[in-house]
């Protein structure tokens, strides 16, 4: 039933030595453990991304050009934000099918308020985002308080918000706004000075180093094997290399795009919320086991409502970035495609559909994979219809991998199985009286 | 060990709990004193786990009176009971498999510094608590999905002990353990009892109960069916109360009426 446990008299020092002595095996064990907490994690998506970039670069030497990569860094933001909101919902083990429609509705709301009613852009943005946040909270309330399955609530909402968007836009179904305004600038503005991109790269590297050192200290405090200084330095150097390379590439075109900067800040900020605050811990706990969370005294309904509100809010922000690209809001962009792409991004990046495993960074990674495919195929002149089929195929592969990983967890580890005790031990009554 | 004059740590009277048409508990009463281990026995489906959940506030009773150290209290929410000093180890679903040991121990009572989780302090406290318990957990940063069943059991117990409770409810804690681990756990229960905790221990194994319990309360079909002194009652008599061969409900009720007085 269980591995023999060493006598519990061995002290802290012994245990640390024992753990360090495990070397490579210990490292692999640690990786396997991370897999248990975080799902498949980012490794498959990183490999896929390298493969995709290599293949497209071979097929078309423009693929890795500064111009194309810079455009890619802006193109990912709209869908990436929607996917980031979905990560919250997926962490609960739930789904929000309304994000595509909600993003369209809030963009339409912004355009109508701004263009037709003359509301200032900042105020119209605020209204649009607040409306989507309220809509998300409403979905969450109906799910958490009335017990309607999340897919049903959000499916109905998707239809409703899509209809409302059409009604708002009226006859022509499209509405253009100022292409020099605040919202248009979200995706058109670049920080041209090279120092901007390099400072961001330096900041990211520094913060990564501090976070890794803090985590290592916390591990040492709890008597756990901690990453060595060398390992932290190596990982920081790797990240720094990527960050500075990206900065150099962006600087060869128009500099650091505002959209990409905002996306990074939002993803990093929300990752901090999920992993370093009690609220984030509650989100993960609910994805692990609702019953355990309830017994621990967590306010399950409040967390659920808040998560759907986050999803709605980020869908709205994503919708504004999508509209910003063309300074137009239209019915043409099908919400279903937005939805599927956002789900695909989150899952491809390593967030599990089954709850409790994933990070906001998976939205960034996953959307990079999806947009890279889209951008590469556009360069090669492959029709959009075929792109859809390929995106769906990638999503399917990611979902299958996620399901297989879950199956492996359930069959190989006692702790992953929630109902670990057989029920009804009444038959043992008399026999236990030795 | 305890003076009869002091009010019990926890006294329940007239507790009812139904799940739809199922009467899981009917007019149940129970007393637990500090420094005492009360065993609860009963056939499968007798309502033992429901009793634990009622006391812990996770499945509040439909009716019933609760007194904590003589004072009437309401056990309607998990954090109320935790604040009183009641902690439970449930029979099932004890831990979040995706959180690490520290995250599970502190779930719902995280230590924060400037609004941010204080992982260092939580890790240190986890380490020192687990080091005092009889199963070794080498890595408290491991997700509990990677632990063996005896380690899981001890993490659940550690989680319950974290808030330094005065009353500990253990629902079949020995079920997933081998003989040596069972004796480790029972040693721990005795140590806690000697520290002055009240312990409610649910077990199907008469051996466990003979080893640590002072009294046995038997539940049958959701009703009391007698309270016995472990040291003086032949265990055949306890078994027959569990299986329903004897009906102690009436004598039990009379005895209590005398104790509480008119
Ligand atoms: N959440 C629930 N919903 C419906 N019925 C339940 C629930 N919990 C327990 N019961 C029923 O209540 C009775 C007592 O169950 P339980 O307290 O688990 O018994 P025990 O722990 O003594 O085996 C059983 O008939 C069981 O089916
Ligand atoms: Mg039970």
**Min CA distance, A30 vs chain B (Å)?**
8
For ligand 1, say whether the CB of B40 is within 6 Å of any of its atoms: no
pLDDT bucket at A221, cuts 50 / 70 / 90: confident
- B129: contact with A, CB 8 A cutoff: no
Contact A8 B204 (CB under 8 A): no
Share of chain A above pLDDT 70, in %: 85
pLDDT digits (tens, 9 = 90+) for B118-139: 998 999 999 999 998 888 888 8
Instruction: Answer for the pair B160, A37: CB distance below 8 angstroms, yes or no.
Output: no
pLDDT of A139 reads: 97
Instruction: Answer for the pair A331, A172: CB distance below 8 angstroms, yes or no.
Output: no
Instruction: Answer for the pair B19, B215: CB distance below 8 angstroms, yes or no.
Output: no
Contact B98 A288 (CB under 8 A): yes
Q: In chain B, which residues have their Cβ closer than 8 Å to the Cβ of A413?
A: 145-146
pTM, 2 dp: 0.88
Q: Which domains does chain A have, with CATH numbers?
A: 36-188+278-406 (1.10.3470)
Residues A20-39: what's their mean pLDDT? 61
Q: Which backbone phi and psi does A119 adopt, to 5 degrees?
A: -70, 145
Q: Looking at per-residue confidence, does A137 or B120 come out higher?
A: A137
Instruction: Evaluate if residue A331 carries a pLDDT over 60.
Output: yes
pLDDT digits (tens, 9 = 90+) for A366-392: 999 999 999 999 888 998 888 888 888
Q: Which domains does chain B have, with CATH numbers?
A: 1-85+167-262 (3.40.50.300), 96-164 (no CATH)
Contact B147 A428 (CB under 8 A): no
Which stretches within A253-352 are classed as H helix?
Answer: 258-276, 278-288, 290-295, 300-326, 335-348
Q: Report the nearest-CA residue for atom 4 of ligand 1.
A: B19
State whether residue A222 is helix, strand or coil: coil
**Min CA distance, A374 vs chain B (Å)?**
34
Tell me the C-alpha to C-alpha distance, in Å, between residue A25 and each of A3, A14, B39.
17, 18, 45
Tell me the C-alpha to C-alpha distance, in Å, between residue B169 and each of A420, B103, B172.
19, 21, 10
Q: In chain A, which residues have their Cβ closer than 8 Å to the Cβ of B180?
A: none
Instruction: Evaluate if residue A9 carries a pLDDT over 90.
Output: no
Residue B222 Cα to ligand 1 midpoint, Å, equals 9
Mean of the per-residue pLDDT values of chain A: 86
Residues 217-256 of B with CB under 8 A from A: 235, 239, 242-243
Instruction: Evaluate if residue A365 carries a pLDDT over 90.
Output: yes
Least confident of A18-27, A388-397, B34-43, B246-255: B246-255
Share of chain B above pLDDT 90, in %: 60
- A418: contact with B, CB 8 A cutoff: yes
Residues B88-100: what's their mean pLDDT? 89
Distance of CA A165 to the CA centre of its chain: 26
Q: In chain A, which residues have their Cβ closer than 8 Å to the Cβ of B108?
A: 293, 296-298
pLDDT digits (tens, 9 = 90+) for B46-83: 999 999 999 999 999 999 999 999 999 999 889 889 99
Burial (CB < 10 A; 0-12, 13-18, 19+), residue A267, is buried
Residue B51 Cα to ligand 2 midpoint, Å, equals 9
Q: How far apart are CA A268 and CA A363, in angstroms?
A: 11
ipTM confidence: 0.88
For ligand 1, say whether the CB of B63 is within 6 Å of any of its atoms: no
Contact B82 A37 (CB under 8 A): no
């Amino acid at each position: 039933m269980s591995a023999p446990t060493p006598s519990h008299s061995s002290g802290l020092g012994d245990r640390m030595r024992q753990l360090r002595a495990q070397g490579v095996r210990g490292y692999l064990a640690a990786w396997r453990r991370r897999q248990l907490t975080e799902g498949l994690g980012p490794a498959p998506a990183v490999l896929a991304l390298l493969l995709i970039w290599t293949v497209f670069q071979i097929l078309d030497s423009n693929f890795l050009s500064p111009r194309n990569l810079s455009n890619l860094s802006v193109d990912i933001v709209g869908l990436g934000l929607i996917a980031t909101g979905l990560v919250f919902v997926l962490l609960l083990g739930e789904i929000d099918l309304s994000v595509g429609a909600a993003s369209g509705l809030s963009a339409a709301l912004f355009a109508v308020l701004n263009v037709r009613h003359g509301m200032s852009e900042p105020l119209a943005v605020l209204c649009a985002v607040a409306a989507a946040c309220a809509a998300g909270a409403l979905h969450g309330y109906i799910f958490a308080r009335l017990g309607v399955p999340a897919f049903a609530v959000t499916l109905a909402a998707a239809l409703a918000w899509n209809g409302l968007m059409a009604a708002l836009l009226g006859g022509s179904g499209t509405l253009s706004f100022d292409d020099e305004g605040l919202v248009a600038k979200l995706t058109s503005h670049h920080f041209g000075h090279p120092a901007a991109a390099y400072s961001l790269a330096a900041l990211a590297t520094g913060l990564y180093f501090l976070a890794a050192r803090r985590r290592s200290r916390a591990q040492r405090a709890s008597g756990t094997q901690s990453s060595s200084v060398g390992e932290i330095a190596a990982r920081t150097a790797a990240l720094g290399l990527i960050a500075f390379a990206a900065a150099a590439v962006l600087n060869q075109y128009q500099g650091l795009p505002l959209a990409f900067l905002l996306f990074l800040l939002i993803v990093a900020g929300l990752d901090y919320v999920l992993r370093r605050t009690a609220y984030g811990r509650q989100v993960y706990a609910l994805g692990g086991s609702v019953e355990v969370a309830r017994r621990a005294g967590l306010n399950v309904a409040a967390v659920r409502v808040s998560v759907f509100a986050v999803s709605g809010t980020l869908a709205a922000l994503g919708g504004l970035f999508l509209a910003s690209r063309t300074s137009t809001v239209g019915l043409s962009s099908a919400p279903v495609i937005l939805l599927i792409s956002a789900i695909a991004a989150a899952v491809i990046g390593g967030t599990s559909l089954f709850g409790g495993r994933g990070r906001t960074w998976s939205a960034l990674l996953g959307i990079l994979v999806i947009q890279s495919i889209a951008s590469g195929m556009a360069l090669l002149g492959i029709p959009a219809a075929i792109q859809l089929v390929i995106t769906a195929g990638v999503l399917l592969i990611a979902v299958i991998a996620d399901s297989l990983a879950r199956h492996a967890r359930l069959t190989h580890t006692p702790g992953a199985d929630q109902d670990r005790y057989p029920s009804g031990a009444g038959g043992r009554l008399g026999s236990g009286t030795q | 060990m305890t003076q009869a004059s002091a009010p019990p740590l926890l006294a329940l009277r007239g507790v009812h709990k139904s799940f739809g048409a199922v009467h899981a508990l009917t007019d149940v009463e129970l007393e637990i004193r500090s420094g005492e281990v009360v065993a609860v026995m009963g056939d499968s489906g007798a309502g033992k786990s429901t009793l634990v959940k009622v006391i812990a506030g996770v499945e509040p009773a439909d009716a019933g009176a609760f007194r904590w150290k003589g004072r009437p209290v309401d056990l309607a929410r998990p954090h109320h009971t935790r604040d009183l000093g009641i902690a439970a180890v449930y029979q099932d679903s004890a831990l979040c498999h995706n959180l690490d040991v520290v995250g599970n121990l502190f779930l719902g009572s995280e230590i924060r510094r400037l609004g941010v989780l204080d992982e260092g302090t939580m890790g240190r406290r986890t380490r020192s608590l687990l080091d005092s318990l009889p199963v070794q957990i080498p890595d408290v940063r491991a997700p509990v999905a990677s632990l063996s069943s005896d380690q899981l059991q001890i993490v659940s117990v550690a989680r319950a002990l974290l808030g330094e409770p005065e009353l500990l409810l253990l629902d079949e804690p020995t079920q997933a353990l081998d003989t040596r681990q069972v004796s480790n756990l029972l040693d721990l229960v005795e140590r806690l009892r000697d520290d002055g905790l009240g312990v409610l221990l649910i077990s199907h194994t008469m051996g466990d109960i003979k080893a640590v319990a002072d009294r046995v309360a038997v539940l049958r079909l959701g009703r009391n069916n007698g309270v016995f002194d472990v040291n003086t009652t032949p265990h055949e008599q306890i078994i027959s109360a569990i299986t329903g061969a004897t009906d102690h409900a009436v004598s039990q009720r009379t005895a209590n009426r005398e104790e509480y007085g008119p």
